[in-house]
Amino acid sequence: MLPKVISAVYLALWVSSSGVTSAEDPHMDRALRLMSETPLIDGHNDLPWQLRKQFNNELNKVDLNTLSTTHTNIPKIKEGRLGAQFWSAYVPCATQYKDAVRQTLEQIDVVHRMCEKYPETFMFATSSQDITDAFNMNKTASLIGVEGGHSIDSSLGTLRTMYQLGVRYLTLTHSCNTPWADNWLVDTGSEPSQHNGLSPFGKQLIVEMNRLGMLIDLAHVTIAVMNQVLDMSKAPVIFSHSSAYSICPHKRNVPDDVLKRVKEKRGIVMVNFYNDYVTCSKTATMSDVADHFDHIKKVGGADIIGFGGDYDGVTRLPEGLEDVSKVPNVVAELLRRGWTDEEVKAALGNNLLRVLKEVERVRDSLSGTSPDDVPIPYEEVKNSCRTSFGYPDVPNGAARPLGTLALLLTFTLQALFAVTAL
């Protein structure tokens, strides 16, 4: 009972401070009431990347209460009524085959430190229950999603380690192919397909993610990968920040036939606010974003929709959605368009909570299954920055061939040992 009382008080204070009243905008009043009852869960925010770009992750030099160079700060989070956020642990494709794992671990670390520095605002979260608990305490549940399969360096052990550090989704690719999956640029024709979707190791990865209880994020992949994962996965999938292809035919968006399959799989598409994915142009409005919500609801139903704003990861945002504080505008617009309270609550957070609970259920059902420890074939990842220790019959990771002098010394020592043993 107490959390509901706290939420009601918080709502009253927010309405009072913002000057919004039902007489001025009954849809906004209703939107804020629904947001006080159901957590807004956003699928993708790149604030951690901004912390690296602008401050090299020196969080001690940053005050998130006053930071003004990002779409996201604590006042904006509170005004936007952000109940839960998947913070993106993103590093660029340029790190692939180099230091992607280290840099990703540093992004994971900065999310942990952000929660530790601002415990009155953030609660680190790894489960559906954590999201609910944080919402009841009027804190923003803070989850981690790793954006790009290159971050695990083709290693199931690295995937498992990141899960233990709190990562709850992996975007299979970013904007480069990995040694086991094709990225969305393949569908534009600007890059060649390397795997016709997923390689055999990529399919191993999907099975292991199901076993771990890690959400599979299909933003940034080809349509072939989308369909292969939808065929394979025992758990629902997500698109953490993608919109509707029929409204804006950009290859980062989701076509109708895939939307229908997401519905069958009981997954979720979390709508991206980037202008280029909203209108396929440099300009857009909040109403244009609502068009994507309407279309996805029409094709797949209100049960597959969520919010995935991509704040701090994009350079252009719609008029009326300039930063995290403006998200209630979308909620009010959906109500203005005739969405029911239950449909809005589904999109706000109930859909994502359902998906995460089902992923957790699949994980629990597979608890007796051993981790997959079969590594990717060495020839699929061989490069100048990678050793081959542990791979049989691969000379690069084994002892190097001995020179003539070394061979002579070895034979001499062996002969001496043989004499000594007699």
SS (H, E, C) 179-229: CCECECHHHHCCCCCCCCCECHHHHHHHHHHHHHCCEEECCCECHHHHHHH
Whether residue 226 sits in one domain with residue 167: yes
Q: Is the pLDDT of residue 89 over 70?
A: yes
Whether residue 271 sits in one domain with residue 415: no
Task: Say if CB 74 and CB 117 are below 8 A apart.
Answer: no
pLDDT of residue 352: 99
In a domain, 28, yes or no: no
pLDDT of residue 396: 57
Residue 53 phi, psi dihedral angles, 5° rounding: -60, -45
Whether residue 181 sits in one domain with residue 301: yes
pLDDT of residue 18: 43
Whether residue 416 sits in one domain with residue 283: no
Three-point CA angle 116, 83, 244, nearest 5°: 120
In a domain, 11, yes or no: no
Q: How many CB atoms lie within 10 A of CB 380?
A: 15
Identify each DSSP E strand in 10-78 by its residue range. 40-45
In a domain, 17, yes or no: no
Q: Which residues pair with 40 in a beta bridge?
A: 82
Whether residue 416 sits in one domain with residue 359: no
Q: Provide the token pair at 212.
A: 């771990």
Say which residue, 196 or 394, is predicted with more confidence: 196
Percent of the chain with pLDDT over 70: 88
pLDDT of residue 419: 40
Q: Is the pLDDT of residue 411 over 90?
A: no
Say which residue, 384 or 401, is predicted with more confidence: 384
Q: Provide the token pair at 158.
A: 């690295």
Q: How many domains does the chain have?
A: 2
Q: Is the pLDDT of residue 408 over 90?
A: no
Q: What is the mean pLDDT of residues 42-47?
A: 98
Whether residue 72 sits in one domain with residue 192: yes
Whether residue 60 sits in one domain with residue 117: yes
In a domain, 374, yes or no: yes
| Choice among 16-25, 108-117, 226-235, 304-313 with the minimum mean pLDDT | 16-25
Task: Say if CB 107 and CB 148 are below 8 A apart.
Answer: no
CA 298 to the chain's CA centroid:
25
In a domain, 64, yes or no: yes
Whether residue 394 sits in one domain with residue 289: no
User: Domain containing 287: what range?
Assistant: 38-379
Whether residue 414 sits in one domain with residue 285: no
pLDDT tens digit sequence for 200-209: 999 999 999 9
Whether residue 345 sits in one domain with residue 201: yes
For residue 367, give the CATH number of its domain. 3.20.20.140
Which residues form the catalytic set? 44, 46, 147, 174, 220, 241, 310
Q: Quick one: pLDDT band at residue 402, thresholds 50, 70, 90?
A: very low
In a domain, 22, yes or no: no
In a domain, 30, yes or no: no
Whether residue 117 sits in one domain with residue 243: yes
Whether residue 355 sits in one domain with residue 314: yes
Q: What is the mean pLDDT of residues 253-265?
A: 98
